[in-house]
């Protein structure tokens, strides 16, 4: 880039001035005391770090007392959160100064059996898998001097390709773990929803239109999965083998797996619960996330996640010995992508993403490492660590996302820092997740238009249609009823109903199409013959304002 807009120049100047001012203030404060001591005896108390960027606002009391009081308040708040939202159960653990100081189960594993959650209950943790996977990759790099975050994935996956040859050639493991390849949010998720495995999905990612390379943040399950697969391929292993050998087994995470069948085989496991109404959860679905295992396929217990958090908070040490090179691990928790912030409001703080994790700061200025996980079919999780306090908390739940993990974590962090709640978190966070149970599709809430044209004879639509991305779409007819079939061996099926002429309707299902979804199947008729169809739900990514990508357009083959 040869130039800069006046707006960007202004922002750059403000950032530069703010940085200098912050450094100046920090250096002035350094003269007031030594490391770890308050900066002054008046005004807000500030503890001085080794550098100005490590200065933080003091806790309301000494650290150990603050943590103990927050831990003591946890049970009542967790029980209140479950009762208020209807989420069936939760597993919660807290680590402090290298020890597990809290580990409890609440509620039930399954609303039908009423079996209670305990400390051994295994939950699907969804996208909380991502920071675990970054630790797996960091351990692999620690063990292999020839492996690096900076390696292009094609070094280990020579047949893999994206739509842009330049990105294919230059996309690094680091790019895939930090969501900066340009793979759009939702890219590949649609193939997973209809049953395709990771090999099929990765082989077709070369058809997905990309956003700007290393210039935009596009949260991508299958982008991160590609990075994980490259790490596993460097070892000649599957991802499941790599994760178990490098992280789960050494840390004693005996209840943790990336294989869905192993989760199902666990005697003490939390069933998924979809949200079917205000405060209502039902056990309706089973979510097999094997295709995106590095990004969302882990199942674990709160206690196992606590073991991992203690390793991270110890800078990669386990039992006082180096387990992961601290410099390699530090890269996973450094800011690599900008994920949020309001350019029109310079009082808003910018948020960042590392390798598989969010990197931010608490109100008191402490680095905050966190990630949530969610499946619309019935799980929600969060783990948050504050290295400055050597403190971490994990909350696993078996209900579709309603903000419970985030509310519990926010309450706990508030209590540690201030001794009281700063916001009504249990009222705030559920509103953030209110639309997570919404149905999907262009016809949701609609009815066929008054005076709608009749559909053609059922036989007009019967046939095989093909898409380079989705493969075969087969329409069959029985007793005048049309059925569509997609996916491996046509296993993803749905009824096709009249709507308006050659625009028919169908109900998509899956992780991204919750109950109540409805979309159009727009058949193309030329010279009286049906020549193709667009399945609208499958023809665009779910992000607002995104243009249809054309992958859901099928041509009649027979």
- The answer as to whether 13 is a domain residue is no
Tell me: do 323 and 432 sit in the same domain.
yes
In angstroms, the CA 545 to CA 191 distance is 21
Q: Both 267 and 174 in a single domain?
A: yes
Distance CA 301, CA 109 (A): 12
Whether residue 450 lies inside any domain: the answer is no
* pLDDT tens-digit profile, the chain (558 residues): 333 332 222 222 222 222 222 322 232 333 333 445 555 556 679 989 899 888 999 999 999 999 999 999 999 999 999 999 999 999 999 999 999 999 999 999 999 999 999 999 999 999 999 999 999 999 999 999 999 999 999 999 999 999 999 999 999 999 999 999 999 999 999 999 999 999 999 999 999 999 999 998 999 999 999 999 999 999 999 999 999 999 999 999 999 999 999 999 999 999 999 999 889 999 999 999 999 999 999 999 999 999 999 999 999 999 999 999 999 999 999 989 988 877 778 788 888 999 999 999 999 999 999 999 999 999 999 999 999 999 999 999 999 999 999 999 999 999 999 999 999 999 999 999 988 889 999 999 999 999 999 999 999 999 999 999 999 999 999 999 999 999 999 999 999 999 999 999 999 998 889 999 999 999 999 999 999 999 999 998 756 666 778 999 999 997
Residue-range definition of the domain harbouring residue 125: 63-437
Measured distance CA(79)–CA(407) in Å, rounded = 12
What is the spatial distance between Cα 283 and Cα 106, in angstroms, rounded to a whole number?
17
Among the candidates 402, 437, 472, a domain finishes at: 437
Do 75 and 146 fall within a single domain? Answer: yes
Contacts of 555 (CB under 8 A, 6+ apart): 465, 466, 467, 531, 532
501-550 pLDDT tens trace:
999 999 999 888 999 999 999 999 999 999 999 999 999 875 666 677 89
Write out pLDDT tens, residues 281-336: 999 999 999 999 999 999 999 999 999 999 999 999 999 999 999 999 999 999 89
373 shares its domain with 475? no
Q: Are 85 and 123 within one domain?
A: yes
245 with 149, same domain? yes
pLDDT of residue 25: 28
Q: Which residues contact 369 (CB under 8 A, 6 or more apart)?
A: 131, 312, 333, 354, 357, 358, 359, 384, 385, 386, 387
CATH number of the structural domain spanning residue 549: 2.40.128.600
- Regarding whether 494 and 427 lie in a shared domain, the answer is no
**SS3 (DSSP) at 237:** coil
Same domain, 249 and 385: yes
Write down the pTM of the prediction.
Answer: 0.90
What pLDDT does residue 10 have? 28
Which of 382, 404, 437 represents a domain boundary (last residue)? 437
pLDDT value at residue 23: 28
Report how far apart, in Å, the C-alpha atoms of 505 and of each of 444, 482, 519 are.
11, 11, 6
Q: Is 219 among the domain residues?
A: yes
Total structural domains within the chain: 2
Strand partners, 533: 523, 554
Final residue of a domain: which of 437, 469, 486?
A: 437
Give φ, ψ of 387 to 5 degrees.
-55, -35
On whether both 260 and 397 belong to a single domain, the answer is yes
- The answer to whether residue 196 sits within a structural domain is yes
Q: Are residues 207 and 93 in the same domain?
A: yes
Claim to verify: residue 390 and residue 334 sit in the same structural domain: yes
Residue 209 counted as domain residue? yes
Q: What are the E-state strand segments in 81-133?
A: 89-96, 99-107, 123-124
Rounded to 5 degrees, φ, ψ at 261 are -60, -30
**Is 53 inside any structural domain?**
no
| Same-domain check for residues 122 and 246 | yes
Residue 32 lies in a domain: no
Question: Is 364 within the bounds of a domain?
Answer: yes
């Amino acid at each position: 880039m040869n130039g800069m807009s006046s707006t960007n120049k202004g922002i750059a100047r403000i950032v530069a001035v703010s940085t200098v001012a912050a450094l100046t203030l920090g250096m002035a404060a350094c003269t007031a005391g030594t490391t770890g001591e308050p900066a002054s005896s008046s005004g807000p108390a500030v503890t001085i770090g080794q550098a100005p960027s490590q200065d933080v606002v003091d806790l309301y009391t000494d650290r150990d007392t603050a943590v103990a009081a927050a831990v003591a308040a946890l049970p009542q708040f967790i029980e209140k959160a479950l009762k208020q939202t209807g989420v069936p159960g939760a597993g919660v653990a807290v680590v402090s100064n290298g020890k597990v100081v809290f580990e409890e189960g609440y509620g039930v594993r399954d609303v039908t059996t009423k079996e209670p959650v305990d400390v051994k209950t295994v939950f699907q943790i969804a996208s909380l898998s991502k920071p675990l996977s970054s630790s797996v990759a960091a351990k692999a790099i620690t063990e292999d001097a020839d492996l690096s975050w900076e390696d292009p994935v094609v070094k280990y996956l020579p047949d893999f390709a994206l739509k842009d040859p330049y990105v294919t050639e230059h996309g690094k493991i680091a790019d895939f773990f930090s969501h900066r390849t340009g793979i759009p949010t939702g890219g590949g998720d649609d193939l997973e929803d209809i049953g395709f495995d990771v090999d099929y999905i990765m082989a077709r990612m070369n058809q997905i239109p990309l956003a700007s390379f290393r210039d935009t943040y596009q949260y991508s399950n299958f982008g991160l999965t590609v990075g994980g697969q490259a790490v596993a391929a460097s070892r000649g292993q599957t991802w499941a083998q790599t994760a178990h050998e490098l992280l789960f087994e050494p840390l004693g995470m005996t209840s943790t797996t990336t294989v869905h069948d192993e989760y199902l085989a666990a005697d003490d496991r939390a069933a998924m619960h979809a949200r079917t109404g205000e405060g209502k959860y039902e056990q309706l679905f089973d979510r097999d996330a094997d295709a995106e295992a590095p990004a969302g396929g882990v199942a674990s217990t709160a206690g196992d996640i606590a073991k991992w958090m203690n390793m991270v908070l110890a800078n990669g040490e386990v039992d006082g010995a180096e387990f992961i090179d601290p410099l390699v691990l530090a890269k996973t928790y450094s800011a690599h992508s900008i994920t949020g912030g309001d350019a029109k409001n310079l009082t808003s703080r910018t948020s960042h993403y590392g390798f598989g994790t969010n990197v931010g700061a608490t109100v008191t200025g402490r680095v905050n490492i966190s990630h949530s996980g969610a499946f619309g079919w019935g799980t929600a999780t969060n783990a948050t660590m504050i290295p400055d306090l050597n403190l971490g908390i994990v909350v696993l739940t078996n209900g579709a996302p309603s903000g419970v993990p985030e509310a519990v974590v926010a309450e706990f962090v508030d209590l540690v820092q201030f001794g009281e709640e700063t916001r009504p978190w249990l009222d705030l966070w559920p509103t953030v997740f209110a639309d997570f149970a919404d149905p999907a599709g262009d016809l949701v809430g609609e009815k066929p238009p008054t005076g709608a044209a009749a559909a053609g004879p059922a036989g007009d639509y019967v046939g095989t249609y093909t898409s380079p991305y989705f493969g075969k779409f087969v329409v069959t007819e029985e007793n005048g009823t049309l059925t569509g079939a997609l996916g491996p061996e046509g296993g993803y099926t749905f009824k096709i109903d009249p709507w308006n002429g050659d625009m028919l309707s169908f109900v998509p299902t899956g992780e991204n199409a919750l109950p109540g979804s409805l979309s159009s199947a727009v058949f193309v008729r030329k010279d009286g013959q049906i020549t193709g169809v667009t399945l609208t739900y499958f023809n665009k990514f779910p992000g607002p304002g995104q243009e249809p990508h054309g992958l859901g357009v099928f041509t009649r083959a027979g």
